Structure 1
């Protein structure tokens, strides 16, 4: 029987469970958050500097389904500067980013500016403050997930990402989870 978990991945953690090489000895791993079962895997990853909703499973078919681009993933990105309507429209249509040493055109996606700062837990590492210029928040919903895609997309339109939080995968939301929370569930979908 498969086991499934929903976690709030903290900033500074790798989306893996233990070190696979000696260069990573000082890194933080998901395995320190909970006693996960053998064979557990992250469904999609969040890079070390990203945080938020991460699904874990021992079921490879479930992982394949979620990663097959059929399931939406929504992110809140705090970007450097007051993002323009023009930049939002470019993101919606898709932008060219680098991926695996090649140019990649992102698929069209849903993007909108958040009117208010989202109610998220404080990040463990402080983000620069308004003395260094204004920031704004956007919601970006993708059906794909290339390596560091949201960060590359916002940089491509001139508004680098300062903080990135995945808040939704399909119909599963972060809701009131706190950083480091781990919840076991019967199924995801």
Structure 2
């Protein structure tokens, strides 16, 4: 059971740089005999739980806490906690596509909120993804920074696909005021 942090008690907050192909949970409730990697392989801290999710095929910042209210606030789309993603896309993203992302994109489940979107260079010091992203020699790729304030299922991937630039690699860099700075892939620290 998640504890409610009372007055004077400080919640434990952990920042974790989740590697590719790791579930955002401590146990695998998947199919019998599956050997999917989980948070328990990296974090041996009792009583903390992920505040929100990060897809198995996405990398980057995951916040864990022992405070149920804080966890709910971070994960609740109504709280509009901003999240910034570094997104490697197939193709050289156009100004028109960036403007569409900034205005909001129509997805099957409705219009997204306006996002902040900008073209960036590949982030410095980026760790290699294992396994590597598959590239097509005839198709260039590029990077964008995309900041959203909602958290629909696979939203960033669906947004970039909707504007014609499928996501190749997705790294969450920031949640609220917390960032990945100083965290290697597969490592964590207290916030």
Does the pair score TM above 0.5? Answer: yes
For residues 70-85 of structure 1, the aligned pairs below 5 Å read: 70-85=80-95
Aligned with 2:186 (options 177, 180, 189): 180
Unaligned 5+ runs, structure 1: none
Which residue of structure 2 lines up, in the alignment, with residue 62 of structure 1?
70
- How far is the alpha carbon of 1:174 from its aligned partner? 0.6
Unaligned 5+ runs, structure 2: 1-8
For residues 1-189 of structure 1, the aligned pairs below 5 Å read: 1=9, 2-23=11-32, 25-38=34-47, 40-68=48-76, 69-98=79-108, 103-114=109-120, 116-119=121-124, 120-129=126-135, 131-185=137-191
Q: 1:23 to 1:149 in 2, by over 3 A?
A: farther
- How far is the alpha carbon of 1:130 from its aligned partner? 5.8
Greater shift, 16-25 or 170-179, is seen at 16-25
- How far is the alpha carbon of 1:58 from its aligned partner? 1.3
Deviations 1:116-140 (A, max 9, x none): 2112111111112461410010010
Higher strand share: 1
Q: 1:12 to 1:141 in 2, by over 3 A?
A: same
Say how many residue pairs are matched. 179
Quote the RMSD (CA, aligned, Å): 1.5
Q: 1:181 to 1:82 in 2, by over 3 A?
A: same
Question: Deviation above 3 Å: which 4+ runs of structure 1?
Answer: 21-24
- How far is the alpha carbon of 1:21 from its aligned partner? 3.9
Q: In structure 2, how many angstroms separate the alpha carbons of the residues matched to 1:74 and 1:137?
A: 13
Q: In structure 2, how many angstroms separate the alpha carbons of the residues matched to 1:152 and 1:41?
A: 26
Q: 1:21 to 1:136 in 2, by over 3 A?
A: closer
Q: 1:31 to 1:160 in 2, by over 3 A?
A: same
Greater shift, 25-34 or 75-84, is seen at 25-34
TM-score, structure 2 as length reference = 0.88
Q: In structure 2, how many angstroms separate the alpha carbons of the residues matched to 1:139 and 1:23?
A: 38
TM-score, structure 1 as length reference = 0.89
